Structure 1
Protein backbone atom coordinates (compact mmCIF):
# COMPACT_ATOMS: atom_id res chain seq x y z
CA UNK A 1 0.00 0.00 0.00
CA UNK A 2 1.42 3.46 -0.87
CA UNK A 3 2.52 5.49 2.16
CA UNK A 4 -0.05 8.23 1.49
CA UNK A 5 -2.95 5.74 1.34
CA UNK A 6 -1.63 4.01 4.47
CA UNK A 7 -1.51 7.34 6.33
CA UNK A 8 -5.07 8.19 5.30
CA UNK A 9 -6.27 4.74 6.43
CA UNK A 10 -4.50 5.33 9.76
CA UNK A 11 -6.17 8.70 10.24
CA UNK A 12 -9.55 7.20 9.36
CA UNK A 13 -8.98 4.41 11.89
CA UNK A 14 -8.14 6.89 14.66
CA UNK A 15 -11.23 8.99 13.89
CA UNK A 16 -13.51 5.93 13.72
CA UNK A 17 -12.13 4.46 16.95
CA UNK A 18 -12.66 7.81 18.69
CA UNK A 19 -16.20 8.11 17.34
CA UNK A 20 -17.12 4.55 18.32
CA UNK A 21 -15.58 4.68 21.80
CA UNK A 22 -17.12 8.04 22.65
CA UNK A 23 -20.54 6.82 21.48
CA UNK A 24 -20.45 4.24 24.30
CA UNK A 25 -20.90 7.27 26.61
CA UNK A 26 -18.20 5.88 28.92
CA UNK A 27 -15.24 7.68 27.36
CA UNK A 28 -14.13 11.14 26.33
CA UNK A 29 -11.14 11.08 23.96
CA UNK A 30 -10.06 14.70 23.73
CA UNK A 31 -6.69 14.39 22.04
CA UNK A 32 -5.26 12.70 18.95
CA UNK A 33 -1.61 12.29 18.05
CA UNK A 34 -2.34 14.28 14.89
CA UNK A 35 -3.30 17.49 16.67
CA UNK A 36 -2.02 17.10 20.26
CA UNK A 37 1.02 14.83 20.10
CA UNK A 38 2.38 16.00 23.44
CA UNK A 39 -0.85 15.05 25.24
CA UNK A 40 -0.71 11.57 23.66
CA UNK A 41 2.87 10.92 24.73
CA UNK A 42 4.22 8.89 27.64
CA UNK A 43 7.80 8.44 28.78
CA UNK A 44 9.43 5.00 28.87
CA UNK A 45 11.90 3.76 31.49
CA UNK A 46 14.88 4.68 29.30
CA UNK A 47 13.66 8.27 28.85
CA UNK A 48 12.46 7.79 25.26
CA UNK A 49 8.88 8.64 24.40
CA UNK A 50 5.93 6.65 23.09
CA UNK A 51 3.13 8.45 21.23
CA UNK A 52 -0.33 6.87 21.27
CA UNK A 53 -3.04 7.59 18.68
CA UNK A 54 -5.66 8.83 21.16
CA UNK A 55 -5.81 9.99 24.73
CA UNK A 56 -8.77 10.66 26.94
CA UNK A 57 -10.39 9.41 30.11
CA UNK A 58 -13.21 7.30 31.42
CA UNK A 59 -16.30 9.16 32.55
CA UNK A 60 -18.12 8.73 35.83
CA UNK A 61 -16.53 7.22 38.91
CA UNK A 62 -13.55 5.69 37.12
CA UNK A 63 -11.92 8.84 35.64
CA UNK A 64 -8.68 7.01 34.68
CA UNK A 65 -6.74 8.21 31.64
CA UNK A 66 -6.95 6.01 28.55
CA UNK A 67 -4.38 5.74 25.75
CA UNK A 68 -5.57 4.12 22.52
CA UNK A 69 -3.74 2.57 19.56
CA UNK A 70 -5.96 2.18 16.49
CA UNK A 71 -4.96 -0.31 13.77
CA UNK A 72 -7.29 -0.17 10.77
CA UNK A 73 -6.03 -3.30 9.05
CA UNK A 74 -8.09 -5.26 6.53
CA UNK A 75 -5.73 -8.26 6.82
CA UNK A 76 -3.58 -9.66 9.63
CA UNK A 77 -0.36 -8.00 8.46
CA UNK A 78 2.30 -7.48 11.11
CA UNK A 79 -0.11 -6.85 13.97
CA UNK A 80 1.11 -9.76 16.11
CA UNK A 81 4.66 -8.41 16.35
CA UNK A 82 3.43 -4.81 16.68
CA UNK A 83 1.15 -5.85 19.55
CA UNK A 84 4.05 -7.53 21.39
CA UNK A 85 6.06 -4.31 21.04
CA UNK A 86 3.01 -2.37 22.27
CA UNK A 87 2.78 -4.53 25.41
CA UNK A 88 6.46 -4.00 26.15
CA UNK A 89 5.99 -0.24 25.78
CA UNK A 90 2.97 -0.24 28.12
CA UNK A 91 5.06 -2.07 30.71
CA UNK A 92 7.85 0.47 30.27
CA UNK A 93 5.65 3.59 30.52
CA UNK A 94 3.76 2.16 33.50
CA UNK A 95 7.04 1.27 35.22
CA UNK A 96 8.31 4.80 34.57
CA UNK A 97 5.14 6.36 36.02
CA UNK A 98 5.39 4.15 39.12
CA UNK A 99 9.12 4.84 39.49
CA UNK A 100 8.50 8.61 39.34
CA UNK A 101 5.55 8.28 41.75
CA UNK A 102 3.32 9.69 38.99
CA UNK A 103 1.12 6.66 38.38
CA UNK A 104 -2.29 7.99 37.32
CA UNK A 105 -3.68 4.46 36.79
CA UNK A 106 -3.69 4.96 33.02
CA UNK A 107 -5.31 2.21 30.97
CA UNK A 108 -4.36 1.18 27.44
CA UNK A 109 -6.49 -0.03 24.56
CA UNK A 110 -5.54 -1.70 21.27
CA UNK A 111 -8.33 -1.28 18.71
CA UNK A 112 -8.13 -3.30 15.51
CA UNK A 113 -10.37 -3.99 12.55
CA UNK A 114 -8.86 -7.42 11.96
CA UNK A 115 -8.13 -10.08 14.60
CA UNK A 116 -4.59 -11.45 14.73
CA UNK A 117 -2.65 -14.21 16.43
CA UNK A 118 -5.81 -16.29 16.75
CA UNK A 119 -4.03 -19.29 18.25
CA UNK A 120 -3.22 -17.11 21.29
CA UNK A 121 -6.22 -14.74 21.16
CA UNK A 122 -7.57 -15.70 24.59
CA UNK A 123 -4.14 -15.04 26.15
CA UNK A 124 -3.31 -11.67 24.56
CA UNK A 125 -4.24 -9.64 27.65
CA UNK A 126 -2.93 -12.05 30.29
CA UNK A 127 -0.02 -11.12 32.54
CA UNK A 128 2.16 -14.01 31.30
CA UNK A 129 1.74 -12.79 27.72
CA UNK A 130 2.75 -9.29 28.87
CA UNK A 131 5.79 -10.82 30.61
CA UNK A 132 6.83 -12.68 27.45
CA UNK A 133 6.51 -9.46 25.42
CA UNK A 134 8.67 -7.57 27.93
CA UNK A 135 11.27 -10.37 27.88
CA UNK A 136 11.37 -10.23 24.07
CA UNK A 137 11.97 -6.45 24.13
CA UNK A 138 14.05 -6.29 27.32
CA UNK A 139 17.17 -5.09 25.53
CA UNK A 140 15.34 -2.32 23.66
CA UNK A 141 13.70 -1.26 26.93
CA UNK A 142 17.13 -1.25 28.57
CA UNK A 143 16.01 -3.51 31.41
CA UNK A 144 18.71 -4.80 33.78
CA UNK A 145 20.09 -8.14 32.60
CA UNK A 146 20.03 -11.26 34.78
CA UNK A 147 21.60 -14.71 34.31
CA UNK A 148 18.43 -15.98 32.63
CA UNK A 149 17.22 -12.88 30.74
CA UNK A 150 16.04 -9.57 32.15
CA UNK A 151 14.84 -8.26 35.50
CA UNK A 152 11.06 -8.19 34.98
CA UNK A 153 8.60 -7.21 37.70
CA UNK A 154 5.81 -9.82 37.69
CA UNK A 155 3.53 -7.64 39.82
CA UNK A 156 3.88 -4.88 37.25
CA UNK A 157 3.03 -7.37 34.46
CA UNK A 158 -0.16 -8.22 36.37
CA UNK A 159 -0.97 -4.53 36.81
CA UNK A 160 -0.46 -3.88 33.08
CA UNK A 161 -2.68 -6.85 32.27
CA UNK A 162 -5.50 -5.42 34.42
CA UNK A 163 -5.23 -2.06 32.65
CA UNK A 164 -5.20 -3.54 29.15
CA UNK A 165 -8.08 -3.57 26.66
CA UNK A 166 -8.25 -5.37 23.32
CA UNK A 167 -11.11 -4.45 21.01
CA UNK A 168 -12.09 -5.57 17.50
CA UNK A 169 -14.24 -3.19 15.44
CA UNK A 170 -15.64 -3.50 11.95
CA UNK A 171 -16.74 -0.97 9.39
CA UNK A 172 -20.31 -2.19 9.85
CA UNK A 173 -20.27 -1.16 13.53
CA UNK A 174 -20.15 2.44 12.34
CA UNK A 175 -23.90 2.03 11.71
CA UNK A 176 -24.36 1.68 15.50
CA UNK A 177 -22.51 4.85 16.45
CA UNK A 178 -24.47 7.72 17.96
CA UNK A 179 -24.37 10.95 15.97
CA UNK A 180 -22.77 13.95 17.73
CA UNK A 181 -26.26 15.34 18.38
CA UNK A 182 -27.53 12.05 19.81
CA UNK A 183 -24.43 11.77 21.99
CA UNK A 184 -25.01 15.26 23.45
CA UNK A 185 -28.60 14.36 24.34
CA UNK A 186 -27.53 11.04 25.86
CA UNK A 187 -24.78 12.65 27.91
CA UNK A 188 -27.19 15.26 29.30
CA UNK A 189 -29.45 12.51 30.58
CA UNK A 190 -26.70 10.17 31.79
CA UNK A 191 -24.70 12.87 33.57
CA UNK A 192 -21.49 10.80 33.35
CA UNK A 193 -19.31 13.91 32.93
CA UNK A 194 -19.98 15.29 36.37
CA UNK A 195 -20.26 12.00 38.24
Structure 2
Protein backbone atom coordinates (compact mmCIF):
# COMPACT_ATOMS: atom_id res chain seq x y z
CA UNK A 1 0.00 0.00 0.00
CA UNK A 2 1.40 3.42 -0.94
CA UNK A 3 1.58 6.29 1.53
CA UNK A 4 -1.31 8.07 -0.20
CA UNK A 5 -3.45 4.93 -0.13
CA UNK A 6 -2.59 4.44 3.53
CA UNK A 7 -3.53 8.02 4.37
CA UNK A 8 -6.80 7.63 2.46
CA UNK A 9 -7.67 4.43 4.34
CA UNK A 10 -6.82 6.11 7.64
CA UNK A 11 -9.02 9.10 6.82
CA UNK A 12 -11.87 6.78 5.81
CA UNK A 13 -11.48 4.87 9.07
CA UNK A 14 -11.56 8.08 11.12
CA UNK A 15 -14.66 9.21 9.23
CA UNK A 16 -16.34 5.88 9.98
CA UNK A 17 -15.59 6.21 13.69
CA UNK A 18 -17.08 9.72 13.76
CA UNK A 19 -20.19 8.58 11.90
CA UNK A 20 -20.58 5.60 14.22
CA UNK A 21 -20.31 7.94 17.20
CA UNK A 22 -22.93 10.27 15.73
CA UNK A 23 -25.36 7.42 15.06
CA UNK A 24 -24.88 5.78 18.46
CA UNK A 25 -25.41 9.05 20.29
CA UNK A 26 -28.53 9.74 18.21
CA UNK A 27 -30.16 6.79 19.99
CA UNK A 28 -29.99 8.94 23.18
CA UNK A 29 -28.74 5.82 24.99
CA UNK A 30 -25.02 6.22 24.35
CA UNK A 31 -22.21 8.57 25.30
CA UNK A 32 -19.40 7.70 22.89
CA UNK A 33 -16.77 9.62 24.81
CA UNK A 34 -13.63 8.08 23.30
CA UNK A 35 -12.89 8.15 19.58
CA UNK A 36 -9.62 7.23 17.91
CA UNK A 37 -7.37 9.03 17.17
CA UNK A 38 -8.32 11.73 19.71
CA UNK A 39 -5.36 11.94 22.07
CA UNK A 40 -7.28 11.50 25.36
CA UNK A 41 -9.10 8.47 23.91
CA UNK A 42 -6.10 6.50 22.70
CA UNK A 43 -4.94 5.04 26.06
CA UNK A 44 -8.51 4.09 26.95
CA UNK A 45 -9.02 2.24 23.68
CA UNK A 46 -5.60 0.57 23.45
CA UNK A 47 -4.72 -2.93 24.64
CA UNK A 48 -1.67 -5.14 24.24
CA UNK A 49 -1.57 -8.50 22.55
CA UNK A 50 -0.22 -10.94 25.17
CA UNK A 51 2.49 -12.07 22.74
CA UNK A 52 4.43 -10.36 19.97
CA UNK A 53 4.99 -6.97 21.61
CA UNK A 54 2.22 -5.29 19.65
CA UNK A 55 -0.81 -3.22 20.63
CA UNK A 56 -4.25 -2.93 19.12
CA UNK A 57 -7.00 -0.41 19.69
CA UNK A 58 -10.73 -0.13 19.22
CA UNK A 59 -12.15 2.73 17.17
CA UNK A 60 -14.43 4.14 19.82
CA UNK A 61 -15.90 3.50 23.21
CA UNK A 62 -17.95 5.01 25.97
CA UNK A 63 -20.87 4.45 28.28
CA UNK A 64 -24.46 3.34 27.75
CA UNK A 65 -27.26 5.25 29.47
CA UNK A 66 -30.60 4.47 31.08
CA UNK A 67 -32.47 1.23 31.49
CA UNK A 68 -30.79 -2.14 31.96
CA UNK A 69 -27.54 -0.95 30.36
CA UNK A 70 -27.13 2.23 32.41
CA UNK A 71 -23.49 2.92 33.25
CA UNK A 72 -22.12 -0.02 31.28
CA UNK A 73 -19.00 0.43 29.14
CA UNK A 74 -18.67 -0.51 25.46
CA UNK A 75 -15.85 -0.78 22.96
CA UNK A 76 -16.57 -0.65 19.25
CA UNK A 77 -14.91 -1.28 15.91
CA UNK A 78 -16.24 0.57 12.88
CA UNK A 79 -15.63 -0.50 9.29
CA UNK A 80 -16.55 2.16 6.79
CA UNK A 81 -16.81 -0.08 3.73
CA UNK A 82 -19.63 -0.03 1.18
CA UNK A 83 -18.72 -3.58 0.12
CA UNK A 84 -17.65 -6.60 2.20
CA UNK A 85 -14.00 -6.58 1.00
CA UNK A 86 -12.00 -8.35 3.71
CA UNK A 87 -14.53 -7.78 6.49
CA UNK A 88 -14.44 -11.48 7.37
CA UNK A 89 -10.76 -11.22 8.29
CA UNK A 90 -11.27 -7.98 10.19
CA UNK A 91 -14.13 -9.50 12.17
CA UNK A 92 -12.02 -12.55 12.99
CA UNK A 93 -9.31 -10.29 14.41
CA UNK A 94 -11.94 -8.24 16.26
CA UNK A 95 -13.16 -11.36 18.09
CA UNK A 96 -9.64 -12.18 19.23
CA UNK A 97 -9.19 -8.58 20.36
CA UNK A 98 -12.41 -8.73 22.38
CA UNK A 99 -11.16 -11.89 24.08
CA UNK A 100 -7.84 -10.25 24.99
CA UNK A 101 -9.54 -7.04 26.18
CA UNK A 102 -11.91 -9.04 28.38
CA UNK A 103 -8.99 -10.93 29.91
CA UNK A 104 -7.22 -7.64 30.60
CA UNK A 105 -10.09 -5.49 31.90
CA UNK A 106 -13.21 -7.62 32.46
CA UNK A 107 -14.83 -4.94 34.62
CA UNK A 108 -14.76 -2.45 31.74
CA UNK A 109 -15.81 -4.79 28.94
CA UNK A 110 -19.58 -4.87 29.18
CA UNK A 111 -20.26 -4.71 25.44
CA UNK A 112 -18.37 -5.14 22.17
CA UNK A 113 -19.90 -3.53 19.09
CA UNK A 114 -19.06 -4.33 15.49
CA UNK A 115 -20.34 -1.42 13.38
CA UNK A 116 -20.11 -1.71 9.60
CA UNK A 117 -21.66 -0.29 6.46
CA UNK A 118 -21.79 -3.72 4.83
CA UNK A 119 -22.62 -7.18 6.20
CA UNK A 120 -20.26 -10.11 5.79
CA UNK A 121 -20.64 -13.89 5.84
CA UNK A 122 -24.38 -13.67 5.31
CA UNK A 123 -24.79 -17.44 5.24
CA UNK A 124 -23.12 -17.63 8.66
CA UNK A 125 -25.00 -14.70 10.18
CA UNK A 126 -26.80 -16.76 12.87
CA UNK A 127 -23.51 -18.07 14.30
CA UNK A 128 -21.30 -14.96 14.16
CA UNK A 129 -21.91 -14.18 17.84
CA UNK A 130 -21.84 -17.71 19.24
CA UNK A 131 -19.23 -19.05 21.68
CA UNK A 132 -18.06 -21.68 19.18
CA UNK A 133 -17.44 -19.02 16.55
CA UNK A 134 -15.58 -16.79 18.99
CA UNK A 135 -13.45 -19.72 20.14
CA UNK A 136 -12.57 -20.66 16.57
CA UNK A 137 -11.26 -17.17 15.84
CA UNK A 138 -9.41 -16.79 19.12
CA UNK A 139 -7.56 -19.97 18.15
CA UNK A 140 -6.98 -18.58 14.66
CA UNK A 141 -4.98 -15.75 16.24
CA UNK A 142 -3.31 -18.10 18.71
CA UNK A 143 0.24 -16.87 18.25
CA UNK A 144 -0.60 -13.34 19.42
CA UNK A 145 -3.08 -14.50 22.06
CA UNK A 146 -1.24 -17.51 23.50
CA UNK A 147 2.21 -17.42 21.92
CA UNK A 148 1.47 -20.92 20.69
CA UNK A 149 1.76 -21.93 17.01
CA UNK A 150 0.25 -25.37 17.56
CA UNK A 151 -3.54 -25.31 17.10
CA UNK A 152 -4.31 -28.21 19.44
CA UNK A 153 -2.18 -26.78 22.23
CA UNK A 154 -3.75 -23.36 21.75
CA UNK A 155 -7.24 -24.84 21.96
CA UNK A 156 -6.38 -26.28 25.37
CA UNK A 157 -5.41 -22.78 26.55
CA UNK A 158 -8.70 -21.11 25.62
CA UNK A 159 -10.68 -19.89 28.62
CA UNK A 160 -14.19 -21.04 27.77
CA UNK A 161 -15.79 -18.77 30.38
CA UNK A 162 -14.21 -15.76 28.71
CA UNK A 163 -15.29 -17.01 25.28
CA UNK A 164 -18.88 -17.32 26.49
CA UNK A 165 -18.74 -13.89 28.12
CA UNK A 166 -17.44 -12.26 24.94
CA UNK A 167 -20.08 -13.98 22.81
CA UNK A 168 -22.86 -12.73 25.08
CA UNK A 169 -21.57 -9.14 24.81
CA UNK A 170 -21.29 -8.89 21.03
CA UNK A 171 -23.44 -6.51 19.00
CA UNK A 172 -23.60 -6.56 15.18
CA UNK A 173 -24.75 -3.17 13.86
CA UNK A 174 -25.05 -2.60 10.11
CA UNK A 175 -25.61 0.99 8.99
CA UNK A 176 -26.32 2.75 5.71
CA UNK A 177 -26.13 6.37 4.64
CA UNK A 178 -29.93 6.68 4.56
CA UNK A 179 -30.25 5.05 7.96
CA UNK A 180 -27.76 7.54 9.37
CA UNK A 181 -30.14 10.34 8.39
CA UNK A 182 -33.21 8.72 9.95
CA UNK A 183 -32.31 9.66 13.51
CA UNK A 184 -33.52 11.99 16.19
CA UNK A 185 -32.64 15.63 15.61
CA UNK A 186 -30.12 17.43 17.80
CA UNK A 187 -32.95 19.70 19.01
CA UNK A 188 -35.12 16.81 20.16
CA UNK A 189 -32.18 14.99 21.67
CA UNK A 190 -31.51 18.07 23.75
CA UNK A 191 -35.08 17.92 25.07
CA UNK A 192 -34.58 14.31 26.16
CA UNK A 193 -31.24 15.08 27.81
CA UNK A 194 -32.79 18.02 29.65
CA UNK A 195 -35.70 15.86 30.82
CA UNK A 196 -33.39 13.13 32.11
CA UNK A 197 -31.17 15.67 33.85
CA UNK A 198 -34.16 17.22 35.61
CA UNK A 199 -35.33 13.77 36.72
CA UNK A 200 -31.92 13.23 38.27
CA UNK A 201 -31.29 10.00 36.30
Q: Same fold (TM over 0.5)?
A: yes
Aligned to 1:188: 194
Helix, strand or coil at the partner of 2:119? coil
Helix, strand or coil at the partner of 2:114? strand
Change (3 A) 1:142 1:194: farther
Helix, strand or coil at the partner of 1:139? helix
Equivalent residue for 1:19, pick from 18, 22, 29: 22
Change (3 A) 1:192 1:122: farther
Change (3 A) 1:148 1:40: closer
Aligned to 2:110: 106
* CA RMSD, 1 decimal: 2.4
2:26·2:183 contact (CA, 8 Å) conserved in 1? Answer: yes
Aligned to 2:64: 58
TM-score (norm 1): 0.87
**2:85 paired with 1:77:** yes
Counting matched residue pairs gives 191
Where relative contact order (Cα < 8 A, 6+ residues apart) is larger, the structure is 1
**Structure that is richer in helix per residue:** 2
Q: Displacement, 1:191?
A: 4.7
Q: Displacement, 1:192?
A: 10
Q: Which stretches in structure 1 are left out of the alignment for 5+ residues?
A: none
Q: C-alpha deviations, 1:30-51, integer Å up to 9, x for none?
A: 1111212112223444474321
Q: Which stretches in structure 2 are left out of the alignment for 5+ residues?
A: none
Equivalent residue for 1:91, pick from 99, 102, 124: 99
2:76·2:112 contact (CA, 8 Å) conserved in 1? Answer: yes
Q: Which stretch of the first structure deviates more once superposed, 42-51 or 64-73?
A: 42-51
Helix, strand or coil at the partner of 2:145? coil
Q: Which stretch of the first structure deviates more once superposed, 178-187 or 118-127?
A: 178-187
Inter-partner Cα distance in structure 2 for 1:124 and 1:164: 9
TM-score (norm 2): 0.85
Inter-partner Cα distance in structure 2 for 1:146 and 1:163: 28
